[in-house]
Structures are given as structure tokens and as C-alpha cells.
Amino acid sequence: MNAKRILLVIGGGIAAYKTLELIRRGRERGLAFRTILTRAGAEFVTPLAVSSLSESKVYSDLFSLTDEAEIGHIRLSREADLVVVAPATADLMAKMAQGHADDLASTTLLATDKPVLVAPAMNPMMWQHPATQRNVARLRADGIHFVGPAAGDMACGEVGSGRMTEPAEILAAIHAILVPPGERPLAGRRAIVTSGPTHEAIDPVRYIANRSSGRQGHAIAAALAAAGAEVTLVSGPVSLPDPPGVAVRRVESARAMRDAVEAALPADIAVCAAAVADWRPAQAAEAKLKKGRNQPAALELVENPDILRGLGHHPQMRPELVVGFAAETDDLLANAAAKLERKGCDWILANDVSTGSGVFGGSRNRVHLLGSEAPVESWPEMDKDELATRLVARIAERLGR
């Protein structure tokens, strides 16, 4: 999605705050934003916050001479690849359905010749109201795209459908409109991603685990799907939502993760981002271990299967591109190079976990890309989403489309 231009219309709803994250994450993925902030929208987010994040002027007034002198509402609506209305209030949608043009947002929406994506957000009763549903049906018939609303707890305290969908999902919808499926670089490719920690049972209530959040692996799965790949994400226990457009297999132990990966083969691409426990208790107790009664003197551990190694050396179904991670505290590049060789990978992303780059649980990551045939690339520290997008662009380049 290079340098695609979004005209974002921010309506007046509490969900307006989520559009700040939408802008930030969208820009990381190469989108450029111009924004119209309605008067009601400006009650929830400030023009300064919006312009700081979008690094662009915020438009709000239809009759402002300065705005019209710089860029008229017609140009504003035409110089975008896509118009996104988020949050779309019941009132904004009613105006759109009726073709009103009494402020900058409605006038621009009437004047545009570009696709329009609407992310509704309102109280569940308002969403279900026949008037709103009539407007939605009208807008759909007019070719307007919708994303959400989602169900769940509302800021107003009620529960039901009406919550604005999360920024990641809106971005996926934007992507789906801007890049038709057949033109995505990984269309027709299958990918397997492992993510998160594994839990190795000690007894029915206790386990060995690690601090992996799954953020990096989930971001890679989402980016692969956005690039058109058919993705199976095999995830250990995490508290993240499922990435849009990805088939998720939830597992607990390393052995279950290995089985789910095997079941997902064949694939063209495998990215092992999971922090798989290297060892598990030799015997998981069937009943809860009781203090004083059968307290174990020491935990006997046995080695878990190495999933990445299994893929890299797979006798029949080795994916065309096998990518692993190497978290090291010392001799980063030498250890990562040895791991690349030992596990039969094409690429290893090495991260230094000694400097506290916040790899585990944090939102940012810094890696070096080692390949069997190319010099080491050191990438700057970046957001895990951005890293995922960059990695997937490299994968698409490598697989030749």
C-alpha cells in the first residue's frame, strides 16, 4: 500500500479517540492522511492531536476562506484514494443516505468520486433502530463499504452491537478495498506462523511458561494475510485478538504446536516467532500436586521437539521459505548464524535481548536479518507492526511477485 491517500472524516462519538491510533498505525503502513474533523468530532479529539499524528492540516469548516483558498472541498474529496468515515455516527450516516450537504464532511462525502468506507459507532438501540438500518441498507445499495460495528461493552454502559471496530480491523478493510485480492503480492501462497509462548504442564493447574506476548508473531500473521497469503497462525496462550483474515489454531504445549504446524502443511512460507519452551516436565501429574504429601523434590525435564528445525529439515514438505527468530544475550550474530545453519532456515531474525530492547511483551523490536546467501542486514528499532510489514515485503520480494 505505498503512499495511498486516505481522507478521514472523524465524526462525533467517543470512539473518535481510536482514530488517533488508526492514523498512527496507518502511517506506519505507508498511508497518508488528510482529515476532516466535524464540529461534534472536535468535542472528542482535538485538531492539534489529529494534525500532529497525521502531520497534515485538519479541515473542519466549509466556509473557511483560508481552507477554501488552500484546497476546496471538491479537491479535498477527489485527491484521496479512499474516504474513511470513522466513527460514523447515526447522524452522519443519515445525512449521507439523504444526500445532505450542510457542512464540510457531508458536502465532501456528496462530492467525492472515490470509494467510501464507513466504520459505524453508536449506542446499540440507535444502531438497531429501523431508521438507522434503513440508512445502512440505502448506503450499501449506493456502494458504500462497511466495517463493523462490533459487539461488546459500550462506553455508555450498555451491551450490544454498535462499538466501532478496532483500528487493525479498519486498516485491514482499507487494504482490502485499495488492493484487490488478485493483485496482492502473496496471493495464492500459503503461510504458517507460530506465535506466543507455550505452556508445559506440571499438573492440571501449574505449568512452565515464558514472557512472550505473541505480538510479533500475530503482527506477522496479519501482515502476511494483508499481502494476500492464506495464513494459519498456530498460537500458544496469548491475550491478543485473532488477526483479521487468519485461520487461528490455539494450542498450549510445544508438542501440540508441532502437531498443529504439521497439520497445516504444505505451505510456501513458515515463520516461527513462537517462544517455544525448550523443555517440559517429564511427567505431568494427573492430579494436583499437594503440599507436604507428594511435593516433588525436583522437576525432571525432557526436551521438547524443535518445530523450526523440523520445518527447516522436513523430508517431504519443507516450505520454500523458512524463517526463524533468535533471541540471544551474547555473541548475537555468531550464535544466530549457527542457529540458521543448525535449524536449516533460510533467514533468521536475530534480536539482542540483553539490552532490554523490550522484545518480550513490548511493542517495539530491533532485529538483524541473516540469510544463508546475503550479508547481514541491521534494521533500525521499530514498532512490531512495522517490522512485520517490512518482513512481509521482503518475503514477497524473495518469492518473486
Q: Tell me how far, at minimum, the Cβ of 206 lies from ligand CTP, in Å.
A: 20
**Residue from 104, 121, 276, 396 in contact with ligand CTP (CB under 6 A):** 276
Q: Which is nearer to ligand CTP, 155 or 209 (CB)?
A: 209
What does the block give as the cell for 249?
489454531
- With binding defined as CB under 6 A, does residue 270 bind ligand CTP? no
Q: Which is nearer to ligand CTP, 16 or 254 (CB)?
A: 254
- With binding defined as CB under 6 A, does residue 233 bind ligand CTP? no
CA distance 269 to 319: 5
Active site residue 156: yes
Question: To the nearest 10°, the Cα dihedral for 376, 378, 382, 383?
Answer: 10
- With binding defined as CB under 6 A, does residue 20 bind ligand CTP? no
**Residue from 13, 41, 281, 324 in contact with ligand CTP (CB under 6 A):** 324
- With binding defined as CB under 6 A, does residue 219 bind ligand CTP? no
Total residues binding ligand CTP (CB under 6 A):
15
Q: Tell me how far, at minimum, the Cβ of 252 lies from ligand CTP, in Å.
A: 14
- With binding defined as CB under 6 A, does residue 306 bind ligand CTP? yes
**Residue from 122, 254, 267, 391 in contact with ligand CTP (CB under 6 A):** 254
Choosing from 74, 156, 299, 334, the catalytic residue is 156
- With binding defined as CB under 6 A, does residue 326 bind ligand CTP? yes
Beta-ladder partners of 301: 281
B/e letters for 108-122, b = 16+ CB within 10 Å, e = fewer, are bbeebeebbbbbbbb
Using the rule CB under 6 A, give the single segment among 119-127, 167-175, 241-249, 319-327 that binds ligand CTP: 319-327
- With binding defined as CB under 6 A, does residue 307 bind ligand CTP? yes
Q: Which is nearer to ligand CTP, 59 or 325 (CB)?
A: 325
Q: Tell me how far, at minimum, the Cβ of 359 lies from ligand CTP, in Å.
A: 11
Q: Which is nearer to ligand CTP, 191 or 308 (CB)?
A: 308
- With binding defined as CB under 6 A, does residue 278 bind ligand CTP? yes
Q: Tell me how far, at minimum, the Cβ of 369 lies from ligand CTP, in Å.
A: 13
Are 271 and 195 a contacting pair, CB within 8 Å? no
CA distance 115 to 154: 29
- With binding defined as CB under 6 A, does residue 350 bind ligand CTP? no
Q: To 10 degrees, what angle do helices 130-141 and 90-98 make?
A: 50
- With binding defined as CB under 6 A, does residue 325 bind ligand CTP? yes
- With binding defined as CB under 6 A, does residue 304 bind ligand CTP? yes
Tell me the per-residue interface mask from 176 to 205 with ligand CTP, x by CB under 6 A, - otherwise: ------------------x-----------
Q: Which residues are catalytic?
A: 156
Residues in contact with ligand CTP by CB under 6 A are 194, 254, 272, 274, 276, 278, 304, 306-308, 324-327, 339
